[in-house]
Amino acid sequence: MERSFALVEAAVSCGSPTRGSEGAFDALVEAGLPSLFGDAALMPMEKPTPCQTWPAGLRHLGTVMEVCRRLRRNVLDALGRGEYPVVIGGDHSCAMGTLAALGEFYGAENLAVVYVDAHTDINTDQTSESGCIHGMDLAAACGLCCDELTVGKNKVNLLGKNLHFIGVRSVDPPEYGVVEQAGAHLHTAREVQGRGVEAVLAEILPALEGKHVHISFDVDVLDPAEFTATGYNIPEGLTIPEAERVLLAVLDTGRTCSFECVEYNPTMDRSKKDLNTLMGILRTVSEKLK
């Protein structure tokens, strides 16, 4: 039976220091994204106004949590209809909403996350220096943050051993301790390029057996020589073929239950060069999923 998809918007950018990524969904839909996913159901979201006050250490908390709660409901609705959610952010704080829905639907202990990103995003509210929530989403999903960062009725409590980072090259010093505490698996961009992408995948793929797998793809994992329309341009990132190989290998397991793409900022892409690049990557993803 042919798979049906839901394109789910996560209209948030104030979890990060830069505005503009809240427009990614609109830009990709206009470029033809629904047709790639078989005329997928569209689940847009009203763009919220960033709140002006927030608790110390949790910038724009109210707005971020409002988006994540809406996103949780929308992802659960899509799953309940038997649709495969393709979440388009926004900044990576939206992963709290996605993972809350997936943990509730499948059980957190049954969920593995392949996190393709330049960052680990596993600061807690206590370790973060910036207070930007897009750097806390995985710590929140692992139940390591304060109650204010709980999206659903309960904390997700994702098991760290089921968390796999690929392409990392910017980690805050305290995050190394959180990664170790959680028991997560860290594969840097340098490792991918030194050992080779196949060697890294050979370690990750067997660990996904028996799990429902969520892919969270942050465009800042790509090297700035190939993609710049994002809030962070960090040298020595993955090439497009390397990133696509990772995504396709995980999709080839047949175990993925959802896909997330975040941090594309159309306001930084006037020529639409990076939009075309991203559409090419998403076309590759869609062809594998169909």
From the candidates 125, 218, 223, 269, give the one annotated as an active-site residue: 218
Catalytic, 187? Answer no
From the candidates 137, 263, 269, 274, give the one annotated as an active-site residue: 263
**Cα 58 from Cα 147, distance rounded (Å):** 12
Pairing of strands 163-168, 185-188: parallel
C-alpha dihedral sign at 196, 119, 271, 38: positive
**Strand residue runs (E) in the chain:** 5-10, 41-43, 84-89, 111-116, 163-168, 185-188, 212-218, 256-262
Catalytic, 77? Answer no
From the candidates 9, 83, 91, 121, give the one annotated as an active-site residue: 121
Q: Which residue shows structure tokens 């499948």?
A: 106
From the candidates 22, 83, 92, 104, give the one annotated as an active-site residue: 92
From the candidates 60, 119, 185, 212, give the one annotated as an active-site residue: 119
From the candidates 9, 91, 117, 274, give the one annotated as an active-site residue: 117
Catalytic, 220? Answer yes
Catalytic, 91? Answer no
Within a 10 A sphere around the Cβ of 181, how many other Cβ atoms? Answer: 14
From the candidates 134, 187, 212, 214, give the one annotated as an active-site residue: 134
Of the candidates 59, 15, 64, 33, the residue with the CA atom closest to the CA atom of residue 218: 15
Catalytic, 212? Answer no
Of the candidates 219, 165, 171, 235, the residue with the CA atom closest to the CA atom of residue 20: 219
Catalytic, 125? Answer no
**Cα 233 from Cα 98, distance rounded (Å):** 25
Catalytic, 109? Answer no
From the candidates 220, 242, 260, 274, give the one annotated as an active-site residue: 220
Active site residues: 92, 117, 119, 121, 134, 218, 220, 263
